[in-house]
Amino acid sequence: MARERAKLVVGNWKMHGRIEQNAPLLTEVAAGASALQDVGVGVCVPFPYLAQTQALLADSIVRWGVQDISAHAQGAYTGEVAAEMATDFGATYAIVGHSERRAYHHETPELVGAKARRALDAGVTPIVCLGETLDERECDATERVIGAQLEAVLLMLSEEQAARIVIAYEPVWAIGTGKSATAAQAQNVHAFVRSKLAEKGATIAHVPLLYGGSVKPDNAQELFGQADIDGGLIGGASLKSQDFLAICQAAQTVLQ
Ligand code: PGA
């Protein structure tokens, strides 16, 4: 049953951070995370800080990753970063299909699927983001939108590959707004995603499903306590070590 799966909490720094600010944040997160059990912790940092992150987290249980990757392996793609380049710095995760990239960089569902496959080919775990806008929710299109986003990714992957992804459900209207989905709203979509995954194969049904969108220390426990919510993708609150660690602690509390 869902409750038995270990939890995973990943920070998404977005375009935040400077060398000087990152050092105490990473060091504090590493120290705090060392006390956790059965909770995986990760941080997805801007590309230029991968080396610093690797240096400061190498001896900790915290894993790190990037917030996007190219759909290409290498070549004349000015400005793109290949998944292999991230693995040169020990990256475990690559967020793909974040709604900010879908909206501001016009990433299509097919491109997101190609990025997920590229990540897997390079040995990086894609954290595939799915989410509906407020308009889509209000006209009852949430399941149609989420289902189509998910399908576009699964179409690109073999069953073995699909079993190695992480999914993050992030309603667009909840991101950075302070207005989280209620635990029941999030659970409903997670259960839907889980059922769609189960149609593809028993192993796929158990990939971690994270919730993201205004997760804070005071709402994390209720969200993480839902049967199909396996943890969180944390934006703003991942920039403050105390808040991020409190959210990680909430993930541990629901397991006890
Ligand atoms: P937020 O962002 O926690 O700041 O709402 C989450 C995300 O976009 O991953």
Task: Note the pLDDT tens digit of each residue in 227-242.
Answer: 999 999 999 999 999 9
Q: Which residue has the higher pLDDT, 180 or 100?
A: 100
**235 Cα to the center of ligand 1, angstroms:** 3
Structural domain contains residue 167: yes
Q: Is the predicted pLDDT of residue 5 greater than 80, yes or no?
A: no
Task: Note the pLDDT tens digit of each residue in 43-82.
Answer: 999 999 999 999 999 999 999 999 999 999 999 999 999 9
Number of domains in the chain: 1
Structural domain contains residue 61: yes
Question: 3-state DSSP helix/strand/coil percent for the chain, to nearest 5?
Answer: 50, 15, 35
Dist CA 241 CA 24 (whole Å)? 9
Residue 126 buriedness (CB in 10 A; 0-12 / 13-18 / 19+)? buried
> Which residue's CA is minimally distant from atom 7 of ligand 1?
235
Q: For the domain that residue 29 is a member of, what is the CATH number?
A: 3.20.20.70
* Two tokens, residue 202: 């028993």
Structural domain contains residue 2: no
Structural domain contains residue 86: yes
Q: Is the predicted pLDDT of residue 174 greater than 60, yes or no?
A: yes
pLDDT at 4: 59
- Ligand 1 proximal residues by C-beta, below 6 Å: 12, 170, 175-176, 212-215, 233-237
Q: Which domain holds residue 27?
A: 8-90+98-255
Structural domain contains residue 3: no
Structural domain contains residue 115: yes
Please give the angle made by the CA atoms of 130, 135 and 140, to the nearest 5 degrees: 80
* Two tokens, residue 139: 């006209």
Please give the torsion angle defined by the CA atoms of residues 113, 119, 123 and 125, in that order, rounded to the nearest 10 degrees.
-70
Q: SS in 3 state form for 71-87?
A: CCCCCCCCCCCCHHHHH
pLDDT at 78: 98
Task: Note the pLDDT tens digit of each residue in 188-213.
Answer: 999 999 999 999 999 999 999 999 99
CB atoms within 10 A of CB 159: 12
Structural domain contains residue 1: no
Q: Is the predicted pLDDT of residue 1 greater than 80, yes or no?
A: no
